[in-house]
Structure 1
Amino acid sequence: MGISMLMCTQTQPLPNVLTRGLMMDIFNPHRHKDKVVFVMGATGTGKSRLSIDLATRFPAEIVNSDKMQVYKGLNIVTNKITEEERRGVPHHLLGIVNPNADFTANEFCDKAALAIGSIVSRGHLPIVVGGSNSYIEALVNDEASKFRAKYECCFLWVDVSMPVLHSFVSDRVDRMIENGMVGEVRKMLDTNNVDYSRGIWRAIGVPELDKYFREEAYLDEGTRSRLLEEAIYEIKRNTCRLACRQLKKICRLKNLKGWKLHRLDATDVFRKHGTEADEAWERLVAAPSSVIVCEFLFGGRRRVSFQCHGRGLHHCSCH
């Protein structure tokens, strides 16, 4: 039985004139607020990919706002971006917290504010990326409005049609299993005291596999295989449910809280494969986002244009 299809390029940097312009703008004495870019979206929509694209086009550093990726360990389960995928871009709040600890929204706000301040002090653009919208909301809409008073925010929302995303999420879980997720969870469970209400143990994939681990030693091979398939099915279903909840929260921020979100529809990207998918990503997500960020940073003083030919940017200009 399926869950609605089992339901939920490297790019070239912008020219030196843009990098120099950003540095000059950051240190402009007439500038009233520092600027922060947020990359939002449901799980699996390509937030990390977009953040890297932007950070290789602008002098930027990335602050993780995913509440599971902030913990140490379970890199496959939590789908942490790899060192190779980071392409040398500095990342903050990624894999820094004890897996048994509770990392609250208040703690996130404190550490994120420090990281953002540090990034700005180096003349770089902070890019906050992650699917934990409750963390982002707590940071931006703090009670005293300190963040909004200090920073101007640009919100990029990578959106994918739910049926298409659900199919992708199902395939991604299969790849995670192939990459060793079951063994990764087993090893962590064997070496830690587990409380499924705390820390990294709330991550989708851990409780679903726990039942399998508890019973596998007493079962024949056929029953073990069936039980593992059931656990994988539950992981896929719960991941799709998470994507739906995340989308609802984003819509609430947009429609009820009045956040100005720049929606980037990546659905067509996920319907394609290989080079065609890369070209669609550049055309529909990466290049438009770069334009939005350039206008956010420089306002009417500069205009950026991109011409996309194949993979990457054939030409871009900012003037």
Structure 2
Amino acid sequence: MLGEKQKVIVLIGPTAVGKTKLSIEIAKTFNAEIISGDSMQIYKGMDIGTAKITETEMEGIPHHLIDIKDPTESFSVAEFQTLVREKITQIHAKGKVPMIVGGTGLYIQSVIYDYQFAEDKKDSAIKWELEQLANIKGIDFLYEKLQKVDPESAKSIHKNNERRVIRALEVYEETGKKFSDYIKEQSHELIYDVILIGLTMDRETLYQRINQRVDMMMNEGLLQEVQGLYHKGVRDTQSIQAIGYKELYAYLEEEVSLDEAVEQLKQNSRRYAKRQLTWFRNKMPVHWFDVTGDKFHEMFAEIFTYIAGKLK
């Protein structure tokens, strides 16, 4: 039918809730290909800390937007939006169902809603001036400026993320409009026929799973993975702001003990999970499934029935 929206399955939920395992079962059942909706799994060599799916775990299901950037490269929401929408079109053309799986709320939201981003002019004079200011006076100077003109954006952008700090200031100076206001004014119209599924579980159980996952990551060699990036000279980049990396960098810089770094990693992961749940509940019309404890396999059947009904 002309103008009919493309169907897209979206599986979201907080870290450690069990999205990976379920996504494979859904993909096998409904002939789907998976697009990563995680802003950090795009980076090569950052496998353990981002809980990146392994080749074995994929069970032959094609995965997209994993290992497409070096850790020294930046990555924007606008770039993610473009790449994912291209993948959705390509997967549909093969007669398969695209499924986005992840926990980065803004990134996923930018794809499925009619988000428009302010044009990023590569030769913008304002951008050039801001870059020169960063070189001369340092990123702290620009970040303080952003805090004054757009405190809301400053809260959501890490001060070491020079590209995003400059971008927010560029939009403000070019348009007179705060970047945070620009984001708020985005359309709330879904551009796909989205089957939006969310996994949740009892908070205490989730936090226990997060703590266990961190211990498992450490046993699997997370410290060695981070040391590898550190010794390659990867510093002050967007990738190293990821949870699991910034905490261990603090240890490698001898700012904290290893035990303190691991405890901070657990705490930051728990806080992130809480923020993820808040975002999804406030920003998107999610159909939630509680997968606490023994309910997990019971929920599989319910989820499959729900998806089957929506794919008709």
TM-score, scaled to structure 1: 0.72
Q: SS in structure 2 opposite 1:99?
A: coil
Q: Label 1:147 to 1:123 Cα distance change in 2 as closer, same or farther (>3 A).
A: farther
Structure 2 counterpart of 1:6: none
Q: Label 1:52 to 1:139 Cα distance change in 2 as closer, same or farther (>3 A).
A: same
Q: Label 1:248 to 1:147 Cα distance change in 2 as closer, same or farther (>3 A).
A: closer
Shift of residue 50, structure 1, vs aligned partner: 1.4
- Where structure 2 has 5 or more consecutive residues not aligned to the other structure, the ranges are 117-186
User: Which amino acid in structure 1 is aligned with residue 225 of structure 2?
Assistant: E
Matched, 1:247 2:277: yes
- Where structure 1 has 5 or more consecutive residues not aligned to the other structure, the ranges are 1-28, 217-225, 270-279, 299-319
Q: Is the 8 A contact 1:71 1:199 kept in 2?
A: no
Q: Is the 8 A contact 1:139 1:147 kept in 2?
A: no
CA distance in 2 between counterparts of 1:107 and 1:244 reads 26
User: Which amino acid in structure 1 is aligned with residue 226 of structure 2?
Assistant: V
Shift of residue 30, structure 1, vs aligned partner: 7.1
Matched, 1:33 2:5: yes
* C-alpha RMSD over aligned residues: 1.9
Which of 206, 217, 226 does residue 176 from structure 1 map onto?
217
Which of 154, 161, 180 does residue 195 from structure 2 map onto?
154
Structure 2 counterpart of 1:125: 97
Structure 2 counterpart of 1:202: 241
Structure 2 counterpart of 1:46: 18
Shift of residue 74, structure 1, vs aligned partner: 1.6
Q: How many residues are aligned here?
A: 242
Percent identical among aligned pairs is: 34
TM-score, scaled to structure 2: 0.74
Shift of residue 147, structure 1, vs aligned partner: 8.1
Structure 2 counterpart of 1:238: 268
Matched, 1:292 2:264: no
CA distance in 2 between counterparts of 1:40 and 1:214 reads 34
Q: Is the 8 A contact 2:71 2:234 kept in 1?
A: no
Q: Label 1:162 to 1:146 Cα distance change in 2 as closer, same or farther (>3 A).
A: closer
User: Which amino acid in structure 1 is aligned with residue 242 of structure 2?
Assistant: A
User: Which amino acid in structure 2 is aligned with residue 206 of structure 1?
Assistant: Y
User: Which amino acid in structure 2 is aligned with residue 175 of structure 1?
Assistant: M
Task: Map 1:268-307 onto structure 2 (within 5 A).
Answer: 268-269=293-294, 280-284=295-299, 286-298=300-312
User: Which amino acid in structure 2 is aligned with residue 94 of structure 1?
Assistant: I
Q: Label 1:230 to 1:58 Cα distance change in 2 as closer, same or farther (>3 A).
A: same
Q: Label 1:30 to 1:104 Cα distance change in 2 as closer, same or farther (>3 A).
A: closer
User: Which amino acid in structure 2 is aligned with residue 46 of structure 1?
Assistant: G
CA distance in 1 between counterparts of 2:198 and 2:291 reads 10
Shift of residue 262, structure 1, vs aligned partner: 1.3
Q: SS in structure 1 opposite 2:8?
A: strand
